[in-house]
Structure 1
Amino acid sequence: QCEEAAYEERQYPAGKWACVTKGEPLYEQSISLSFMKLMRYICKENSVGCYLGMTIPVLNEIHLTKEGTELEREVLTAYYIPGEFQQNPPAPMDPEIHITERAPLRVITRVFYGVTTEETILREIALFWELLGSTDAVLQETYIVAVYENPSIPQRRNEIWFIRRAE
């Protein structure tokens, strides 16, 4: 058995998320703009300061084009609302931020390190498919990039999530 597993399967409970969808020319632009909007929601929409607190990971839901060779422009960035605010999340002042109730989620996940660009994400998806082999158990057009550290950290920890189909 390897010291570190190549991938793992996880189950996440249903919950409320603050979400922003952006469709900039570059993936990095979309997540940067979305992340800044979510940080303002978390920290600055209240005179008390950072009242929600940061939860990790921050998720970026991506879709591949029909050819499977590029990312669609629209990226949904999601921040999990902390437990004490799940029942009654603060209403966002920014109309681009919406609160969404997400169903439970089963994923197969693999860690990777570094910056997340369209190129690195496409490479990680391809590597993960090689590792998993052919399977119909996961979606093949929707993926999630989970970010665990500040985007300015060059060798930050990320994960690529393959979403399990409902059984």
Structure 2
Amino acid sequence: MMKTLGQALFSSGLQNPKYTAGDKKDQDYETRTYHVTNWVSTTLSGMQWDAAMNTGFRKLFSYIQGNNHNKVKVEMTAPVTCRVDPGAGPACESQFTVSFYVPEEHQDNPPAPSDPEVFLENRKEFTAYVRTFGGFSNENLKREELLKLMESLQRDGVQYVDKPFYAAGYDSPFKLMNRRNEVWVLKQEEQQQQQQQEEQEEQV
């Protein structure tokens, strides 16, 4: 318990999911292709991004503390990601999927969650454009950084998916210096580009 709690508080020596770094087009974002990995996740609906993150974090922290069918303790990892599927309008609820990366020793056979609202998620390989920023993150800051990332991609003529998008945090609230936060936007694959083009042609 103390080791996991210590890792969560000080974010040191945590396992991260592996990725292949792409050519850096510009200094204000990077391209990463994440390998196939298992994550443990929970999905919440609501209007408040930060509230969803806090609730989701508590559920997943309970899972790694032994609230799973094997009753095993699982090492804390980083980052904690939050996938945001925005609602259809300003007053509509969004969906927030909060996730912990499953550490290497459990990747092949992750313990099944005991909480019916927590599930295992196998993420296929995907490419994301990533913008990194420091300090204490909040909903407004994440949205500002997301907008800056999209503006950079538009500047460079890069095709991307505008939703869903991700936020990633690497540090506990107790870490004061050298904090690391990220926003991720997914690369638009050729198949998606073709589908989008066909939809535009149908509208003409």
Same fold per superposition (TM over 0.5): yes
Higher helix share: 2
> Who wins on radius of gyration, i.e. which is larger?
2
Q: Tell me if structure 2 keeps the 8 A contact 1:62–1:71.
A: no
Point out 4+ residue stretches in structure 1 off by more than 6 angstroms: none
Change in Cα spacing, 1:154 to 1:31, as seen in structure 2 (3 Å) is farther
Equivalence map 1:16-165=2 (5 Å): 16-45=38-67, 51-66=73-88, 72-133=93-154, 135=157, 137-153=159-175, 156-165=179-188
For the aligned residue pairs, the C-alpha RMSD in angstroms reads 2.6
Q: Secondary structure at the match of 1:51?
A: coil
- Structure 1: which 5+ runs fail to align? none
Q: Tell me if structure 2 keeps the 8 A contact 1:70–1:122.
A: no
Higher mean alpha-carbon deviation, 17-26 vs 138-147, is at 17-26
Q: Aligned partners of 1:70, 1:42: CA distance in 2, in Å? A: 34
Q: Aligned partners of 1:70, 1:110: CA distance in 2, in Å? A: 27
Change in Cα spacing, 1:78 to 1:70, as seen in structure 2 (3 Å) is farther
- Structure 2: which 5+ runs fail to align? 1-25, 191-204
Q: Secondary structure at the match of 1:140?
A: strand
Change in Cα spacing, 1:71 to 1:129, as seen in structure 2 (3 Å) is farther
Q: Deviations over 1:7-29 (max 9, x none)?
A: 11011111111000112342111
Shift of 1:5: 2.6
Shift of 1:121: 1.8
Q: Secondary structure at the match of 2:64?
A: helix
Q: Aligned partners of 1:71, 1:151: CA distance in 2, in Å? A: 29
Q: Aligned partners of 1:133, 1:96: CA distance in 2, in Å? A: 37
Shift of 1:131: 1.9
Q: Tell me if structure 2 keeps the 8 A contact 1:18–1:97.
A: yes
Change in Cα spacing, 1:140 to 1:25, as seen in structure 2 (3 Å) is closer
Shift of 1:132: 2.1
Shift of 1:71: 8.7
Identical residues among aligned pairs (%)? 28
Q: Aligned partners of 1:127, 1:72: CA distance in 2, in Å? A: 24
- In the superposition, the TM-score normalised over structure 2's length comes to 0.70
Higher mean alpha-carbon deviation, 134-143 vs 97-106, is at 134-143
Q: Secondary structure at the match of 1:10?
A: strand
Q: How many residues align?
A: 162
